[in-house]
Chains A and B, each alone.
Chain A
Amino acid sequence: EPEVTQTPSHQVTQMGQEVILRCVPISNHLYFYWYRQILGQKVEFLVSFYNNEISEKSEIFDDQFSVERPDGSNFTLKIRSTKLEDSAMYFCASSGLDGASEAFFGQGTRLTVV
């Protein structure tokens, strides 16, 4: 069964450092998303990406964040200068373009900023 895969599963970084989280969406999907979940809190939308551009972003997704689809398979989230409050689980998701909007999530990357 096709699935969304994310790497790494766990990333520890020092405050102020840049991190790149990687995702391989389901191959025939066209919409890609990043969500995050701070420990004990709800899943929050960060950004959606379609046709090689951002289609929507939340207020969380400020200038420190960027997304890229560098090739036909990968989808990345970059945080330029990490803060302690960026510590969270980051989930990549993808959905197809068939009139439905079922989104399938990857297993997540746990980001710890120290």
Chain B
Amino acid sequence: QKEVEQNSGPLSVPEGAIASLNCTYSDRVSQSFFWYRQYSGKSPELIMSIYSNGDKEDGRFTAQLNKASQYVSLLIRDSQPSDSATYLCAVCHTGTASKLTFGTGTRLQVTL
């Protein structure tokens, strides 16, 4: 059973702070990793993808991957109230387009 684990939260951070979201996965052969943002009642919106060990930065977002530890994280710098949402970690088990296994998501609250 391929599992993706996330702390459900809520994770509360003040506006302007760094939010750190974490995810672990069980399948060692996983190759592609994604972070989606989901507002309540809405669909998942792709924020970041990462395929190799290390960091990948895109604007205020940084994804970090450590395949040896089976760990992927998302950092959000200068957190804004509009970042308040549930962040879903998703893992793909092959190198080409295939099914995603999602975690339950971490609810982030950015407070004023």
A residues within 8 Å of B by Cβ? 30-31, 33, 35, 41-45, 48, 50, 55-56, 58, 89, 91, 95-97, 99-108
**A50–B97 touching, CB < 8 Å:** yes
Task: Identify the closest chain B residue to A33 (Cβ).
Answer: B99
Q: Select A42's contact among B49, B95, B103, beta carbons within 8 Å.
A: B103
Q: Could you give 27 example pairs across A and B, Cβ below 8 Å?
A: A31-B97, A42-B88, A42-B102, A42-B104, A43-B88, A44-B102, A45-B101, A48-B97, A48-B99, A50-B97, A55-B98, A89-B43, A91-B44, A99-B95, A99-B96, A100-B32, A100-B51, A101-B94, A102-B46, A103-B100, A104-B46, A105-B36, A105-B46, A107-B42, A107-B43, A108-B42, A108-B43
Q: Mask for B43-68, Cβ within 8 A of A = 1, else 0?
A: 11110010100000000000000000
The 6 closest A-B pairs by CB, nearest first: A31-B97, A101-B97, A45-B99, A43-B102, A95-B97, A105-B43
Instruction: Name 8 extra pairs, CB < 8 A, besides A33-B99, A48-B99, A103-B34.
Output: A31-B97, A43-B90, A45-B101, A50-B97, A97-B96, A100-B51, A102-B46, A105-B44
Q: In whole angstroms, what is the CA distance A42 to B98 when docked? A: 18
Q: Interface residue count for B (Cβ, 8 Å)?
A: 25
**A105–B45 touching, CB < 8 Å:** yes
Task: Identify the closest chain B residue to A58 (Cβ).
Answer: B99
**Residue of B32, B34, B88, B99 with most partner-chain A CB within 10 A:** B99
Q: In whole angstroms, what is the CA distance A101 to B91 when docked? A: 10
Residues of A within 8 A of B90 (CB): 43
Q: In whole angstroms, what is the CA distance A97 to B94 when docked? A: 13
Residues of B within 8 A of A42 (CB): 88, 102-105
